[in-house]
Chain A
Amino acid sequence: MNKKRVIGAALAGALLFVPYIAESSAVLADGFYVNQTNAERADITNWVANSSEQISTNIQSQHINVNDLNGSRYVIQWGDTLSGISQATGIPMRKLAYDNHIRNIDLIYAGDILILNRNGSYVPSDWNYEGHGTHVANTKVTINNFVDNSDNSVTIVDSPITVNNTTNNNSTTNNSSTNNETNEKTTTTINNSDYESPVDPVATTTAGSDSSAASSDTTAAAEKDADSINATTDSQTTTSDSNANKTSASTTTSSKSGLEDSDFADEVSSKLADQLGVDASKVSVDFGGDSSSAASADSESSDVDAEATDTDSQTVYDDDQSISIASDKLSAKNAAKVAKKIYKQLESDDKLSDVTDADSIDVTLSATDGGYDFNISLSSESSDDSDSNSSSESDTASDTNSSSVTTSSDDTTDAEDY
């Protein structure tokens, strides 16, 4: 009897750890930037392509057997290139890209997980990617580390390269570069916006040792802390403040964020399709909200509703569901987060099967102060019991139709991220 109890307790205990074990790779990936100083991140060695031998070593250090790559999860390291990983593993770049939904193989991120699958699924002949796979892994965090420069820029006093930057920051541009061929010296100060991670840095700043930066003013953080990420932390209003300070630029969506609304919607759509395991063409995202804090604060406008499109559609939720995202930046990273949160919510509400069974999944998404609101409209051939409860918040600002979003989702392939 006692034995049974012990075994039962052991099994129950083991079950508790299952999620941790299952997500160990994810944890490793999420923790990639943790405990790294800016000095380590900015080191030049991270920005020169690793040799395939180095990558092999990296792979082995993650206890992955290169001879048995059957869905192994590799955390991309600094200096990795997709071509290098391809060489190190023997997996064709095309397959690597396809298996990992990478459209631009020159844009991978350190810390991301790459599925290494030598066998397995076949790559459709009409599937294409762009790039050569020779660019080293990008950073998901902005590695700013201003020591004594209050304008959040640094000056390279002795540059061998002409920087013909078309800057949008007139206050920090002081470009006196003139040479290209000769060995003359140049003094160059470059626009800050060129030196920011293209994806949202917030996740890592909050996860890592850099939490001070996440909610504080960028400039202040930069000045006081030489070894913290101050990034362009785009936590809600903070970003607009710091951006305003830095650039005195307008706070339009495009200047503040990496993606346009439609691109962001496409990105969410693509990521959500991945999460749901359905064909990307089935999912369309209607993003009607401007994520700038000002816009989102004084307008609940973009609560686009699901009633717009299909007569035999049914909405998944009676009311729009809120998901909180720390950053309002329209970045690929945030799109992934939004998709993940939507997925989690569906999962926790036990609505996944309804969604995946549908022929068409139309997500309406709008920015709010603390994140996003969403609802999902499902269409299927047989579903007649449409439920239009959620459309009560419809308003004039949100007359986007899902068909236009769907067509533009083809552009996802051109997004910077994958």
Chain B
Amino acid sequence: MKKSKAPIIIVILVVIIAALGGAYWYMGHSVAKRIPGNTYRYQSVSKDKTLYVTFAASGNEVVVNPDKNTAVKAAGSQTAFDKEYKSQSESATWRYSAQGGTMTLAEQTKDGKVSQWQYNKIFATGSKFTSHSFTYQIAKAGQGQVKSKTVFEKVN
């Protein structure tokens, strides 16, 4: 009367698959929880330009700057963030929205023109998040979708 181990193995496999699947799903939907208060480095599609993005600890404001020091400084404290954000807002207002597997950066210029980049199918880990495509609407420039992988690496 030897008991078969198969059911146990199946159960274990199901649990493992469920755990992995759950973790995968979570990583695919956790960007909104991970980014507030942090600074990320973004490298352009052609890898020749770098941008630093600091997300507000609360609210939907974001400091977008090619200078790392500025971005990291903004992540230091709410006061520092507000200062950098105010300085940046002299030319344009930047906000962000993150939900599920998407994160959108939006710029509104003084004349009301809006440009947006929505990063889709984001897979987020503790140190970076990866988007598998982005949708863009750029004022006076164009709109569309680009199916290129882009990576935001946490720097602070």
| Contact residues in B for A91 (Cβ distance below 8 Å) | none
Least CB distance from A363 to B in Å reads 29
Q: Are B66 and A145 in contact (CB under 8 A)?
A: no
Least CB separation from B133: chain A residue = A147
Main secondary structure of the interface of B (DSSP, over half): strand
* Cβ contacts A145-175/B at 8 Å (1 or 0 each): 1111000011111111101100000000000
Which residue of the partner chain, among B106, B140, B144, contacts A144 with CB atoms under 8 Å?
Answer: B144
Size class of the A contact interface (CB-based, 8 Å): 35 or more
Known: A45-B49, A135-B109, A154-B136. Is A144-B143 also a contact (CB below 8 A)?
yes
Least CB separation from A83: chain B residue = B91
| Contact residues in B for A322 (Cβ distance below 8 Å) | none
Q: Are B45 and A39 in contact (CB under 8 A)?
A: yes
Q: Are A39 and B106 in contact (CB under 8 A)?
A: no
Q: Does B26 touch A at the CB level, under 8 Å?
A: no
| Contact residues in A for B115 (Cβ distance below 8 Å) | 47
Q: Does A211 touch B at the CB level, under 8 Å?
A: no
Q: Does B64 touch A at the CB level, under 8 Å?
A: yes
Q: Are A156 and B137 in contact (CB under 8 A)?
A: yes
Which interface residue of A142, A160, A197 has the most chain B CB atoms within 10 A?
A160
* Cβ contacts B61-89/A at 8 Å (1 or 0 each): 00011110000000000000000000000
Main secondary structure of the interface of A (DSSP, over half): loop
| Contact residues in B for A135 (Cβ distance below 8 Å) | 91, 109
Which residue of the partner chain, among A40, A145, A183, A194, contacts B97 with CB atoms under 8 Å?
Answer: A183
Give the CA-CA distance A161 to B134 in the complex, in Å. 17
Q: Which residues on A are within 8 Å of B, measured CB to CB?
A: 37-51, 54, 78-79, 132, 134-135, 138-139, 141-148, 153-161, 163-164, 183, 185-186, 190, 192, 194-198, 226, 231
Q: Which residues on B are within 8 Å of A, measured CB to CB?
A: 42, 44-46, 49-51, 59-60, 64-67, 90-91, 93, 95-100, 102-109, 112-118, 134-148
Cβ contacts A to B, 9 pairs, < 8 Å: A41-B141, A43-B45, A44-B44, A142-B141, A144-B144, A146-B144, A146-B145, A153-B143, A194-B139
